[in-house]
């Protein structure tokens, strides 16, 4: 079975892709499971601030899901930015709507996003030092299922900096709260040689007791659906990590 659990649609601020077009493409490329994870942003610096409308999403989602007639399994999710800063809003969304899967991601550090201007001001080491503190705070808070693209600045800096001590602490809290890692392949489309995370962080995750991963393309366009997920699958298998999907916030192993 092939699954893509990180997909953005017209209900995200930065995508115009329609759910039905993703389903059509999934049939063409033999993907059996899709989870739509539109952005939920409450940082006022983000142009997606307050953009997401759950009622509109579920109206479109249920319409398409009903037409699939079990040909493809569809799941409803969100990618929630900076969960530790907006915990009440996350709790309200997850209580009020029937999400299958919630990704927690760090995109912003206050008013800093790893764009070119920030890269000119901060070295990779300086930015990552700030970034890991935010990741640690968000796994301490919890409330989501998988930590999205853990080494997100790599997509922009093209490199990674970390200390093993910090990673051990992050993974301790992540696993204590029964959350897992996502392997996100979007960095490969940005010219990077590894997904997020790559082998160096997956090795530490495994050493800390990590057992599961989800896999997602982070597609914002239909053409990127399922992109390079075979690479993520191979990497997960190399570390004996079980790929899973989520339904009603419960893990389900992906069988091949």
Domain ranges of the chain: 3-253
Class of domain 3-253: alpha beta
Running DSSP on this structure, what letter comes out for residue 100? S
For helices 199-207 and 164-176, what crossing angle results, to 10°?
Answer: 60
pLDDT tens column, 71-112: 899 999 999 999 999 999 999 999 999 999 999 999 999 999
- Residue 97 confidence (pLDDT): 98
- Is the link from the previous residue into 226 a cis peptide, with omega within 30 of 0? no
The span from the CA of 119 to the CA of 96, in Å, is 39
Average pLDDT over all residues of the chain: 97
Q: Which helix (H) or strand (E) holds 46?
A: none
The span from the CA of 33 to the CA of 123, in Å, is 39
Compute and round to an integer the Cα radius of gyration of the chain: 17
The span from the CA of 177 to the CA of 245, in Å, is 17
- Residue 24 confidence (pLDDT): 96
pLDDT tens column, 161-214: 999 999 999 999 999 999 999 999 999 999 999 999 999 999 999 999 999 999
3-state secondary structure 109-159: ECCECCCHHHHHHCCHHHHHHHHHHHHHHHHHHCCCCEECCCCCCHHHHCC
Q: For residue 108, is it left (φ>0), alpha (ψ between -120 and 50) or beta?
A: beta
- Residue 40 confidence (pLDDT): 98
Structure tokens at 198: 């790559």
- Residue 256 confidence (pLDDT): 58
- Residue 68 confidence (pLDDT): 86
Which residues on adjacent β-strands are paired with residue 183?
215
Name the band, by pLDDT with cuts 50, 70 and 90, for residue 70.
confident
Q: Are strands 180-184 and 146-147 parallel, antiparallel or unpaired?
A: parallel
The span from the CA of 194 to the CA of 6, in Å, is 17
Cβ partners under 8 Å of residue 220, min gap 6: 8, 12, 14, 15, 17
Report the half-sphere exposure of 94 (CA within 13 A, side-chain side).
Answer: 21
- Residue 255 confidence (pLDDT): 81
Name the band, by pLDDT with cuts 50, 70 and 90, for residue 6.
very high
- Residue 69 confidence (pLDDT): 73
The span from the CA of 173 to the CA of 77, in Å, is 22
The span from the CA of 253 to the CA of 26, in Å, is 20
Helix (H, G, I), strand (E, B) or coil at 239: coil
- Residue 1 confidence (pLDDT): 82
């Amino acid at each position: 079975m092939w699954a893509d659990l990180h997909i953005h649609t017209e209900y995200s601020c930065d995508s115009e892709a329609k759910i039905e077009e993703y389903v059509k493409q999934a049939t063409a490329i033999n993907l059996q499971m899709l989870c739509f994870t539109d952005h939920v942003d409450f940082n006022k610096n983000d142009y997606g601030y307050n953009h997401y409308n759950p009622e509109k999403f579920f109206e479109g989602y249920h319409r398409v899901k009903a037409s699939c007639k079990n040909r493809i399994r569809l799941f409803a999710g969100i990618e929630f930015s900076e969960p530790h800063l907006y915990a009440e809003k996350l709790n309200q969304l997850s209580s009020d709507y029937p999400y299958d899967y919630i990704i927690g991601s760090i995109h912003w550090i206050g008013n800093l996003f790893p764009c070119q201007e920030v890269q000119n001001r901060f070295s990779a080491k300086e930015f990552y030092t700030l970034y890991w503190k935010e990741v640690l705070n968000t796994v301490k808070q919890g409330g989501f299922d998988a930590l999205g693209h853990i080494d997100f600045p790599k997509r922009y800096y093209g490199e990674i900096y970390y200390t093993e001590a910090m990673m051990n602490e992050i993974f301790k809290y992540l696993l204590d709260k029964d959350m897992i890692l996502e392997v996100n392949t979007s960095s490969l489309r940005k010219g990077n040689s590894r997904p997020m995370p790559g082998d160096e962080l997956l090795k530490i995750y495994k050493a800390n007791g990590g057992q599961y991963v989800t896999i997602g393309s982070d597609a914002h366009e239909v053409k990127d659906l399922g992109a390079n997920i075979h690479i993520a699958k191979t990497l997960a298998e190399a570390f004996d990590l079980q790929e899973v999907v989520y339904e009603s916030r419960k893990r389900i192993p992906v069988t091949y």
